[in-house]
Amino acid sequence: MPPPIDHPCLHLHVLPGSFFVAKLQPSEPVPQPIIDSLANDTGFLSLTRTPEETSIVGQWHDGIPASFKPDAVWRCIKLQGPMEFSLVGVLTQLSTPLKDAGIGIFVTSTWNTDYLMVNESNLELAVNALKKDGWAFAS
């Protein structure tokens, strides 16, 4: 059974600004400005380290390393959240209309919700595909 996409916790928001998605080699240190942002900023920033890589995803702003600027070509669609862990298939339901429209995505999840990144050139197409599929966008 698909998730109830009309439930308020599954309403979508397009977050303002540009986002970056950067990859570091596992041996590379996390740049100090990113560590400072984790400690001092309240904006979106996600850091994931695995044995193969370190992925850093965040909202672009002054203070982010200039080397990440070429990667700041993403826009973020946020599920309202918080979602119960008993909801299953949310990302499948959310990503299927985007797959059908030929739109690539990058997803970051938190305890409360999911954040879906689309290339900024595809944002309007993504929003239209999701609306056509029945997803509600909060104003």
Nearest to 62 by CA among 26, 33, 84, 101: 33
Phi first, then psi, for residue 16 (nearest 5°) are -70, 155
The pLDDT value given to residue 1: 40
Structural domain that includes position 63? 19-72
CB atoms inside a 10 Å sphere around CB 30: 13
| Residue that wins the pLDDT comparison between 84 and 122 | 122
Domains held by the chain: number:
2
If asked whether residues 54 and 38 sit together in one domain, one would say yes
Give the whole-angstrom CA distance, residue 95 versus residue 74: 16
The pTM of this model reads: 0.90
If asked whether residues 82 and 126 sit together in one domain, one would say yes
Out of 40, 56, 72, a domain closes at 72
CATH code, domain carrying 101: 3.30.2130.10
Structure confidence at residue 85 as a pLDDT band (50, 70, 90)? confident
If asked whether residues 79 and 133 sit together in one domain, one would say yes
Residue 49 is which amino acid? R
Average pLDDT over residues 47-64: 93
Contacts of 35 (CB under 8 A, 6+ apart): none
